[in-house]
Structure 1
Amino acid sequence: MEELVGVAEIRDMLGGNLSRQRVHVITSHRDFPAPIQKLRMGNVWLKRDVEEWIRNRQAAG
C-alpha cells in the first residue's frame, strides 16, 4: 500500500519550521506533484512523489 501525506506531513518533510499557510503555497506551485485525491479535510499526495520533488529541489538548489 502506498503511503499518503497531507499538509502536516509535508510540513514535517520540509523541516517543520514552515507555517501551514506557506506549505499550502508550496503545494499549489505548478511544479509540485498533483494531489492524488482532494478531500474535504484537504489534499493528499503520494509520499514518494513529494520525496522525489524535495530531492529534485535540493539537487537544483
Structure 2
Amino acid sequence: MRKLRLLASQEVQELLGVSRTRAYQITNSKSFPDPAAVLSVGRIWLAEDVERWIKDHRPDPQNSEK
C-alpha cells in the first residue's frame, strides 16, 4: 500500500523557498495544482502534485549556472 503524502501551506512555502506572501501568490495561480482538500486549518495538496509543479515551473539554480 502506497503512503499518501500531503503538504500544508507551510510545507509548500518551505519547498518553494519563498516568503509566506509569495507562496500564497504562487498557490493561487492558475498553473498551480488544485488542493486535494480544503480543511478548517487551510488547503492541503498532494506532495507529488506540488513536486511535479516545482520541477516543471521552477528551474534548478544549480543547473542554470552551468
Paired positions, count: 58
Residue segments in structure 2 that go unaligned for 5+ positions in a row: 60-66
Which protein is bigger by CA-based radius of gyration?
Answer: 2
Higher RCO (C-alpha 8 Å, min separation 6): 1
CA RMSD of aligned residues (A): 1.6
Task: List runs of 5+ in structure 1 lacking aligned partners.
Answer: none
Equivalent residue for 2:7, pick from 5, 8, 17: 5
1:56 equivalent in structure 2: 56
TM-score when scaled to structure 1?
0.84
TM-score normalised by length of structure 2: 0.78
